[in-house]
Amino acid sequence: MEQPSLEIENVRKTYGDFVAVDDVSMAVPPGTVFGLLGPNGAGKTTTLRMVMDIIAPDSGTIRLFGRPRRREDLEQIGYLPEERGLYRKMTVIEHLAFLGELHGLGHRDAVARGERWLERLGLADRVKSKVEELSKGMQQKIQLAGTVLHDPAVVILDEPFSGLDPINQGLFKDVLAEFKAEGRTILFSTHVMEQAEKLCDHICLISGGRVVLQGELAVLKRERGGNSYRLVAAGDLAQAEEVPGVAAAVPGDGEARLILEPDADGAAVLRALTQRFDVSEFRSQEPDLEEIFIKAVRDAA
C-alpha cells in the first residue's frame, strides 16, 4: 500500500467546553480525490486548519508524506480556505505574482504562471483589472489560481464550490479532474453530498466533530446497497409499501425505489410484488451518498 499523502491520527480540538474535533483519524491516499464531508459545524474547517498548522490540535498526530508535519512540507500544499481573502486594490496579475512569490517563486516565473492560469480560467482579458472590479465568481477563480500557482503536490480546498454558479462549478470540477490525472492529491470539504459523489474516490464523513463513516466510496456504496432496490412495473407503485418486507417506496415515472426491511429476503419480496404488479425489473441499487450519510449519522447518534 502506498504511503498516504496525509494522515490524521486521534486529533482533538476544543474551545473551552465545546469539542470541535473529537478523536478524528483519517488517511488520504496519494493521487486521489478525498472528500471531508459533513453538515455545517461538523468540524471540517477546524480539521483542515490543523492540517495547515493555522491552529494547533490539543492532542493527536498529523503526518504529511509519511512523516510528522514540518513547515517545509506545507510548501508542497496549495490551500484554499473557506474564508477567502484578496487584496482588492491590486491588479489581478499583481495579486497572483505576490502569492507566487510568497510560495518561493521568482517574480517573472510567478507572472508567467499567473498568466497561464488566467488563460486556463477564461480571465486572460482581466490581467490588468483590479481585483475589486471582478465579479464574485471571477474572484473565486483568482483565488483558485493563487492556490495552485506553485504546483503543489497536495491541493486542499475548503468548500471550494460555495457561491459558484453552475458554469464555474463545472470549470472547478474540470480543474480538479486535471489535477487528479496529473497524480496530485486533492482533499476538499463540502456539505453538499451530490458534489462529493461525483468527484470523490474516498470519503470521510464527520458529524458533531466525530468520524461516523470513512473509506473508498465505491466500496461503501456496494456494502450499503443491500436493502435498496429499483422496481420497474406497471401500476400504482406507491402501494409497494404494503408488500411485506418493504420499508418504504419512492415512486417515479413507471418505476420506484424500494427500501427493504433489514431482515427482508429479496426473493420473497419479488414474489410478493409479482402478485400485485406486472414487474419488468427488480434489482439491487446502490444508495446515493446522501442516503449513506443520513443513515450513518442516525446510527452513530
CA dihedral 153, 157, 163, 169 (to 10 degrees): 40
Burial class (CB in 10 A: 0-12, 13-18, 19+), 188: buried
User: In whole angstroms, what is the distance from residue 263 CA to residue 283 CA?
Assistant: 17
DSSP state of 171: H
In sequence order, the β-bridge partners of residue 187 are 34, 156
Question: Strand pairing partners for 80?
Answer: 157
Residue 10: CB partners within 8 Å, gap ≥ 6? 23, 24, 25, 59, 60, 61
Average pLDDT, stretch 108-123? 96
pLDDT at 292: 84
Per-residue pLDDT tens over the stretch 128-171: 999 999 998 899 999 999 999 999 999 999 999 888 888 999 99
Query: What are the backbone angles phi and psi of residue 150, rounded to the nearest 5°?
Result: -95, 15
Could you tell me where the DSSP H helices lie in the chain?
Answer: 44-51, 92-102, 107-120, 136-148, 166-181, 193-199, 217-223, 266-274, 289-300
Counting Cβ atoms within 10 Å, is residue 168 exposed (0-12), middle (13-18) or buried (19+)? buried
Instruction: Output the pLDDT for position 160.
Output: 92
Q: How far apart are CA 20 and CA 279, in angstroms?
A: 50
Looking at residue 1, its pLDDT comes to: 58
What pLDDT is recorded for position 163?
80
Q: In the prediction, which pLDDT does 131 show?
A: 93
State phi, psi for 288 to the nearest 5 degrees.
-80, 165
Contacts of 120 by beta carbon, 8 Å cutoff, 6+ apart: 175
Whether 62 and 11 have beta carbons less than 8 Å apart is answered as yes
Q: What is the pTM of this model?
A: 0.83
With contact defined as beta carbons under 8 Å apart, do 269 and 260 qualify?
yes
pLDDT tens per residue, range 255-291: 998 988 878 888 999 999 999 999 999 988 877 888 7
Residue ranges of domains in the chain, CATH in brackets? 6-216 (3.40.50.300), 226-285 (3.30.70)
184-231 residue pLDDT tens = 999 999 988 888 998 999 999 999 999 999 999 988 887 776 678 899
Question: What tens digit of pLDDT does each residue of 34-79 get?
Answer: 999 998 899 999 999 999 999 999 999 999 999 999 888 999 999 9
